[in-house]
Structure 1
Amino acid sequence: MDVLQKSVVTPLQPVLKPIVEALPQPVHDAIISLISAPCHKALVLDLNLVEDSACTSLAISKALGIAIVGASAVVKVPQILKLINSRSSAGVSFASYALETASLLITLSYSVRNGFPFSTFGETALIAIQDVAIGVLVLTFAGRSVAAATFVAIVAAAVYALLFDQNLIDGQTMAYLQTGAGALGVASKLPQIYAIWKEGGTGQLSAFAVFNYLFGSLSRIFTTLQEVEDKLILYGFIAGFSLNLILAAQMVYYWNSPAPKQKTASSAKIAEKPVPTSSFAQSSSASPRPGSKTPTTRRRG
């Protein structure tokens, strides 16, 4: 930070000072609510990055958190569009998205109940919504519409139980669930890793989503270390990053592999249906029964 302060910030202070002073008060209030008044004075008003290293780390953490929340609004939109355009769920594991949805809902509820800063968990709600949409599309394109409707109903019931009726699940039980959420988050990656390995390609899996998840999980480790003193949350992000790294490596390895084709119910029936032979071939290949009369060209006199 010393180098950045001396080489960039200090020379630009004559230019940056009028810009900072021209900012409206609501902007200053928003910054104060994020990083506190002392850090606002040191970093924004005084433009000093080295006066308080804790303030600098907190500001970086808040910026990363806000960026993650913002990016999460569209992180899986390419995956959704890819499924819709191809009308195929080849290479995409429903089990992976179902487990991840469960993990995200638990983490969201746990963070809300403990009053953690929104910048440290806000993306969980947005990603969970996109996961549900992907899960529905995967089941629908696999010809399992009833299962898709059941999946939505189960998610709705879980949201009500975890977020809107805290009498059903007390704080201690919520802590146990969060411990399990870390395991679910890890387990959610395993079906997708296995599906890619089994198919020998990534199919309809979106590279944009995979690599954004990788960088997002790495950033979440930093923001959690800076703002949340909770080992349950931290260990979950560390484990998630490790498996996201494997998914990213698979994406690179199978980059030029052809997409695996998904067999539909109609194509399976066509494949199983025997091809009928022509009547001419049947009649020509059939041999006369023993003792039966055969046609003759002999003329009767």
Structure 2
Amino acid sequence: MGLGMQKRWLLLVPVLFVAHIAANFALLKAPHTSTALEMQVALPRFVQVAMSGGDRYLAANLASFRALLVSTERMQADNFAIQGKVQRDAAWLNPAHEDNYYIAAAILPWNDELDAGQYVLKQAITARKFDWQPIFYYAFNIYHFEGNPAKAAVELLNARSVVTSENDRMAIENIAARWLEKGFEPKAAMQVVDIMARQAKPGQFKEYLKTRVDRLRVLLSLQEAAAMYISKKGRPAKNFEELRAAGLISVLPVDPFGFGYVMNQAGEPVLLNSAPKVKK
């Protein structure tokens, strides 16, 4: 070993010693229970790097390895909070780590650690310009856990510039179109889906998107008629027949997808996104 290398190791020894002491103190403070031993403590980032010989990527690998091996069926809320911290650290140390973002998407949001999961996915989106999956998981969490389909659709459409498969691109646009119907005002949703239809290649999928535009156009006209009914009558319409009787629509609405439109309790027309159940 050369003199320069020896000096570097001599300088590293005190750092490793301090890291070792800090790690032991952290472990002593951690609650000692018989469950979820894998996730009882999260070490400071500088300690993780120091214990990995100064290699931040190795530190990220070790943190991700901990998350990969954890037995989640035995974990409690505090343990999941620690796992969220561990995976945040791994994402900070190596934002492009594939295993880390995949594990975070599969575990953290489903165990009340949505912020940690979204942080990991956001880091992966920034670092992995070639990978559309972190975008999908990030958007899905907004849709499912935050309950914001409009925002989720906008985020999901960012994946279109990343996918290389035409089938994947069509699947993403299909999901986004469905989310837009749920989350945007019909006019805004119709405009976005119309742009998607114009950009799509000629074929069945282009026609499918056009049909979604037509569906939203009918919904928009129904909502405008319902608002006029309230303005005239001072109360919401109970059904579409009342709108027709008042001369606000000429025919009862027909959904091009066959599911239908209904009046909600506030007298506002909304979409049905599944076939109505048949009463036995």
Same fold (TM over 0.5): no
Q: Report the TM-score when normalising by structure 1.
A: 0.21
Structure number having the greater helix percentage: 1
Bigger relative CO (Cα 8 Å, ≥ 6 apart): 1
Greater Cα radius of gyration, structure 1 or 2:
1
Q: Report the TM-score when normalising by structure 2.
A: 0.22
